[in-house]
Amino acid sequence: MILNTSRFGDVEIEEDKIVSFPEGIPGFSDVKRYIILDHPNGPDVPFKCLHAVDDADLAFVITDPLLFNCDYNPDIDEQDLKELQITSPEDFGMIVIVTIPHDEPEKMTANLQGPILINLGTREAKQVFLVSDDCQIRYPLLQKEAVLR
C-alpha cells in the first residue's frame, strides 16, 4: 500500500503493520489508523514517526521511553490493559510522544505521563494517562541525567 505523506512523500507500507487506535488519540479521535515509520536517517535513530494513514498531514514524533529514562516503569491501570487484551508484559510495546520546539530542538521533551501502549499481536493501541505524579508530561530528553542507550 502507498501512503501519501506531506513530510516524506509517498511511502510504501505493509498493511499488517498498521496500528489501530479504536478511540483515536486524544485530540484526534477521528483518526484511527497509524503506521510507525523509521527516521529518514535509518532505523537506528532513536526517534520514529507515528504517521496517520488517512491524513497526510498528521504525524507525531515518538520514541521508546527507556532509551532516555531507564527507570521508567509506569503503573498501567488494569482496565487499560484489559481493553487492549494485554495479559503479560511480552504482549505489548510502549512509546511516548516527543515535542520538539521549532526553534529550540535541544529543549525537546517526552510525555511520560501519557504513554501509548500497543498490543503487539492485535496491533491495537491506546494512549493511557497515568495518575502518578512520578512521571512528567514534559520530560527533557537532552538533560544531563538522560543517558541514551
pLDDT at 96 over 90: yes
Query: Mean pLDDT score of the chain, rounded to an integer?
Result: 91
Q: What is the mean pLDDT of residues 63-74?
A: 91
**Higher local confidence (pLDDT), 98 or 73:** 98
pTM of the entire predicted model: 0.90
Instruction: State residue 24's pLDDT score.
Output: 96
Rg (CA), the chain: 15
Range of the domain at 119: 2-140
| CA angle at 86 for the pair 126 and 58, rounded to the nearest 5° | 20
* 24 within a domain of the structure (yes/no): yes
Q: What is the mean pLDDT of residues 6-29?
A: 94
CATH number at residue 51: 2.30.290.10
Instruction: State residue 44's pLDDT score.
Output: 83
Instruction: State residue 133's pLDDT score.
Output: 67
Question: Could you tell me where the DSSP H helices lie in the chain?
Answer: 78-83
pLDDT at 149 over 50: no
* 148 within a domain of the structure (yes/no): no
Which regions of 53-131 does DSSP assign to beta strands (E)? 59-63, 92-99, 109-110, 116-119, 125-127
- Residues 65, 110 contacting (CB under 8 angstroms): yes
Rounded CA-CA distance 86/88 in Å is 6
* 11 within a domain of the structure (yes/no): yes
